[in-house]
Structure 1
Amino acid sequence: MRPFAMLLAATLLTTPVFTQPVFAQAAAPAATPEATSPEDAKLRQLFHDSDEAMLKRNPLSALFRGDLRYADRLGDFFSDEAVAEAKAADESDLKNLAAIDRTKLNPVDQIAYDVFRWQTDLDLRSYAPDILKETIVRPIDHFNGVHIFYPDIASGTGAAPFNTLADYENNLKRHRDYVHMLDEAIARFREGMKTGVVQPKLVVNNVIDQLDQQIAQGVEGSTYYGPVNKFPASISAADQARLTKEYADIIRTGIIPAETRLRDFLKTDYLPVARDSVGLSQMPGGAKLYQYLIESNTTLPLTAETVHKLGLSEVARITREMEAQKQAVGFKGSLADFFTFLRTDPRFQPSSKEQLHQNFLAIRERVMKRIPEQFSLVPKSPLEIRATPAYREKTSAGGDYMQGTPDGSRPGVFYYDTYDLPSRYMWEDETLFLHEAIPGHHFQISIAQEDPSLPAFMRFGGNTAYVEGWALYSESLWKPLGMETDPYQRMGGLSDEMLRAMRLVVDTGIHAMGWTRDQSIAYMLANSPMAKTDATAEVERYIAMPGQALAYKIGQLTIQKEKDKAMQALGAKFDPRAFHAQVLDTGALPMGVLEKKIDDWIAEQQKAG
């Protein structure tokens, strides 16, 4: 996995990936399950060794698992040495994998073999010179970047624990790494200035705004000051006084100056040479990079043209369903008029942040009553519901999910955004919860990481097409889970599905067909009841994260296709609980691997029947 681009487990999964409450203690590395044959044993040892090496290279991945062995460091994201080390690890892993006879593995390990080969090969391709030169010199944007996920980690309510004196000391050491990392990012940006591979001005301005907000917090108002506002009783008064001073000092003399240096560099040196264009194809070498990103995000060998046409087809289908809901509520006027009504009528706008919170609590209670009808496999990890932190709410999506720890001591968190309440519509709340929380991201991620029989890369890793495809598929379960009985809530479900269909059109439009920001926003407003604020945030996200938005609909359509196939083949014997268990019980799979797994399961069910 590319160290300069990865968001680790810290990536927010949004509708695009993690601030959590403090957890109790460090979790030991996952035990390697007993193998059933010598080849299984060789494979599991390879998985274990590869994972241990990865955790040393990427200590934040360990931290998010609750493994504190490397908690005194952030890792190395941007150096040539880090890139070379990660590339060499991938090459070694593929060589060792090729020495294992797949035909002698048990069925689960055959799946694991295929996933590992696919993921490692994909990672290795990212180090090819023509791809690497496009990515490493753009180390930060307003969705991806250490300046975004590190404040959450260090806040005192994030992934890093603050239970012991060592926890507080480790955080100080990570702060020093963070300062160094921001300066390394500047150096990489300068390399891109020389080759013409630069971020769009739009992205740069958003990053500058994010840094401005963090710098303006000052010392005692800083997110980084949070841990010393609440010490555990086990830390002595003398140590509390010392740590409070040291935290204030490093924020004042280290973090704020480093963020200021990055902000000033971006504003003064980088912004004047940044691109006016927003699409990858308008950047040197960008077209080839975009093709790679399509394949890596969808896990399928698709072209931009194919994806664009699929998106247009899905937009047309969903539009017909929206017309039906408009008629169901007796609205007189065009679909565009209905969109305006949904955007502007006060009845759909929350009166307060607390109303939103209570609404999501009520939705969770209703959903959980129906879960046993659809799921036999459910996670142990609890779920918390929180508002998005203020410092990132402006550029966040309507909701996102942050994973908990495998032992459940740190719960998963569903965040709902409260920025610009008049543009926050309660008709979208039910479908948002299904996607981000239950049975979407919370079920899928928690079920995988709670299963110690899976190798670590399947418990904790994954691909966007599966992760986001499952979450979007979860939205389609609205009827059996008792959601969207109100036509307006159903419009919310259709609106969110329309968003994912429009992503196929707009992402490819921007990065392969020369669409502008304003053209893309106009398309989304014309085809959905989204507010302009939301459409703008979405388009700017696609600009910053090319290809990522394609994964949702591609993954969902693949899962739905497999479900339809199983329903047709098994008829009355089809059990949605068994199907969902098959999709979920081996972690996030590439689409081709998932298709084969479900096809094999269908054949087994037919044979047993």
Structure 2
Amino acid sequence: MPDNSDAIAALAEEYQQFRYRQSPMWAHMSGEYAHAGAFTDVSAAGEAETVRQAGEFAARARAISEDDLGEQDRLSREMLIWDATSTAETAALGDAELGADPIFGAQASVGMYLPKLGIPTPEVAEAMVDKLRGIATYFTDLADRHRDGIAAGRTPAAFAAADTIQQLDEWLTSPLAEDRLLNIAPTPEGVDRAALLARMQDVVADHVRPAVATYRAVLCDEVMPVAREDEQVGLLHVPGGEEAYATLTRFYTTTDLTPQEIHEIGLEQVADLERQYAELGPAAVGTDDVPTILAALRDDPKLHHTDGDEIVEASKRAMEKARGVMGDWFGRLPQSDCEVEPTTSGAIAYYFRPALDGSRGGVFFMNVSEPEGWGRYEIESTSYHEGIPGHHLQIAIAQELEGLPDFRKTAFVTAYSEGWGLYTERLADEMGLYGSPLDRMGMLAADSMRACRLVVDTGMHALGWSRQQAIDYLLANSEKSVGHATAEIDRYAVTPGQALSYMIGRLEILRIREAAQQRQGERFDIKAFHDVVLGSGALPLSVLAAHVARRLT
């Protein structure tokens, strides 16, 4: 009979394969090609099977005794229980019924991800044809899920459905030969690329575009007449929405804080940032009047970029500064490097983890489609968050850890990862990385957005705020323009709870650090603290707190 340690290792490997099956695009992006021919399953049957299997994994993990388990095996057991339970709970919410999503929906994102999917062998090349068939099935199933939602009184927000329709129209009216799904990575020797693309184009014409047209028709003819208007944009106005938002709040923050408690924390953070703006304002923009400061950051053309290449170069300079002092603040550094690349699609900035097989390092993308939207003051704080010492250290180190199961190395714990990213924006200030008071003002501006998120996300989804009320609050308490504020609020509206993870995660990491400093006094070593926080992969915040307390006594 295997001992408990062997049982944990075996279950962890089985669970990782389950995760790959559930998220085949993520698996492919990570360099796992076993499911390269698959796409996300949003069918009702697939959702029910996810709930069942994830629940079974959680039960099996609980059934393994902690007796004789070492530290990392105990953490693996806790992570299995948390991750599988969270997967079951969130899958059971029926999110696909509200799945009109102009921010992260497949029609908005698949064209960005497809070129990043490696094609190392002829077998993976062949699988790309099947992947397109899976994309067609995805849109057909999503249309069915919307019909299920309508029957249950669960409908998307009207703005989300309307914006999605516009994106679908742009896709369907684009030339077939230039379809976004035909933009794939380089193919290996032995593959007739022209013949492969011809077959893929046939699948797009015969399967994908008809499925997309069907989905569009359902949104136009069936969803839009009953979609939720802007006054009812939050989950509170959906049957079961209050309970669903509570579940999502727990998942994204990994805490037991209620939406009302988080709302109050957000208000406190916004008030404290007003004081910080007033203190830094004279050196940065020549005034301590907060509305004037925010207006200058928002509207002064001298404080904004005009050239995409300049944005990327500024980010590269910031990353190089960070590389130069990493050894003073971290004992463990990743072997893989992080590059900065421009993009014209997707979020304003985002990070792609290195491939598991080492074929590609980390990549930090800066969206330069509208250079004027980038404040000069934003580049450094964004670079430290997304790149070094932010997401790159957190994610690349996790992937390179030895002796941990793969699911631990690649786990998604949003409060941990985004909390770390936001923590490193302030850590960069401690490290002396910001080049000017204006760059430090960018740190405050980034904090404002994350603090406002606590207020507006809970406001919409738990307190009944309208879309416009949320936009107005963000405009009044950040430097965001009307267009950017609207885009931010729309993101929070279609991904309830996710925006809470940043500031709640940062505050908890700071609390854990302060507790360690109080315990250790003069023995406290910031390098040791960071190594413990990053040295076991992503963890729920309560698990992280207990782990740090055991390590740094």
Matched, 1:434 2:384: yes
1:286 Cα deviation (Å)?
1.0
1:592 Cα deviation (Å)?
0.6
Match of 2:65 in 1: 101
Match of 1:152 in 2: 112
For residue 102 of structure 2, the aligned residue among 128, 142, 146 is 142
Secondary structure of the equivalent of 1:400?
Answer: strand
Match of 1:299 in 2: 254
1:275 Cα deviation (Å)?
0.6
For residue 530 of structure 2, the aligned residue among 567, 570, 580 is 580
Matched, 1:122 2:86: yes
Match of 2:466 in 1: 516
CA offsets per residue over residues 52-80 of structure 1, 9 Å max, x none? Answer: 34434543343233121222222533231
CA distance in 2, matches of 1:343, 1:481: 27
Matched, 1:254 2:207: yes
1:470 Cα deviation (Å)?
0.7
1:194 Cα deviation (Å)?
1.4
CA distance in 2, matches of 1:75, 1:338: 45
Within 5 Å, which residues of 2 pair with 1:45-444?
A: 45-80=10-45, 82-126=46-90, 131-132=93-94, 135-154=95-114, 157-158=115-116, 160-227=117-184, 231-235=187-191, 239-276=192-229, 277-329=232-284, 331-332=286-287, 334-390=289-345, 392=346, 396=347, 398-444=348-394
Q: Give aligned pairs, total.
A: 550
CA offsets per residue over residues 400-451 of structure 1, 9 Å max, x none? Answer: 1122212331222211122433332110110001111111111111111222
CA distance in 1, matches of 2:284, 2:113: 46
Match of 1:17 in 2: none
Secondary structure of the equivalent of 2:429?
Answer: coil
> More helix by proportion, 1 or 2?
2
Q: Is contact 2:450–2:503 with CA below 8 Å preserved after alignment?
A: yes
CA offsets per residue over residues 358-413 of structure 1, 9 Å max, x none? Answer: 111111111111111111112122222122334x4xxx3x3111222123312222
Secondary structure of the equivalent of 1:77?
Answer: coil
CA offsets per residue over residues 259-298 of structure 1, 9 Å max, x none? Answer: 2322232123211211102111112221111111111111
CA distance in 1, matches of 2:146, 2:104: 14
CA distance in 2, matches of 1:456, 1:147: 30
Structure 1: which 5+ runs fail to align? 1-36, 604-609
Secondary structure of the equivalent of 1:386?
Answer: strand
Q: Is contact 1:381–1:407 with CA below 8 Å preserved after alignment?
A: no
Match of 1:4 in 2: none
CA offsets per residue over residues 148-180 of structure 1, 9 Å max, x none? Answer: 4433343xx31x223433232110111011111
1:475 Cα deviation (Å)?
0.7
1:247 Cα deviation (Å)?
2.5
Q: Is contact 1:294–1:304 with CA below 8 Å preserved after alignment?
A: yes
Secondary structure of the equivalent of 2:97?
Answer: coil
1:347 Cα deviation (Å)?
1.7
In structure 1, what residue type is equivalent to 2:479?
P
1:544 Cα deviation (Å)?
0.6
CA distance in 1, matches of 2:291, 2:350: 28
Match of 1:27 in 2: none
Change beyond 3 A, Cα 1:577–1:266: same
Match of 1:13 in 2: none
Change beyond 3 A, Cα 1:136–1:250: closer
Secondary structure of the equivalent of 2:537?
Answer: coil
TM-score (norm 2): 0.94
Secondary structure of the equivalent of 1:301?
Answer: coil
CA distance in 2, matches of 1:99, 1:269: 46
Secondary structure of the equivalent of 2:522?
Answer: helix
CA distance in 2, matches of 1:162, 1:332: 54
CA distance in 1, matches of 2:182, 2:61: 46
TM-score (norm 1): 0.86
Secondary structure of the equivalent of 2:280?
Answer: helix
Q: Is contact 1:78–1:139 with CA below 8 Å preserved after alignment?
A: no
1:330 Cα deviation (Å)?
6.5
For residue 481 of structure 2, the aligned residue among 531, 537, 546 is 531
Q: Is contact 2:277–2:293 with CA below 8 Å preserved after alignment?
A: no
CA distance in 2, matches of 1:363, 1:522: 33
1:209 Cα deviation (Å)?
2.6
Q: Is contact 2:284–2:441 with CA below 8 Å preserved after alignment?
A: no
Change beyond 3 A, Cα 1:127–1:520: closer
Change beyond 3 A, Cα 1:58–1:326: closer
Match of 2:551 in 1: 601
CA distance in 2, matches of 1:513, 1:359: 41
Change beyond 3 A, Cα 1:421–1:330: closer
Between stretches 41-50 and 145-154, larger displacement belongs to: 145-154
CA offsets per residue over residues 85-121 of structure 1, 9 Å max, x none? Answer: 3233223323322332213210111122112112222
In structure 2, what residue type is equivalent to 1:42?
A
Change beyond 3 A, Cα 1:251–1:330: closer
CA distance in 2, matches of 1:57, 1:569: 42
Superposition RMSD in Å = 2.0
In structure 1, what residue type is equivalent to 2:485?
A
Match of 1:39 in 2: 4
Secondary structure of the equivalent of 1:530?
Answer: coil
CA distance in 1, matches of 2:169, 2:339: 30
Match of 2:518 in 1: 568
Q: Is contact 1:343–1:423 with CA below 8 Å preserved after alignment?
A: no
In structure 2, what residue type is equivalent to 1:69?
A
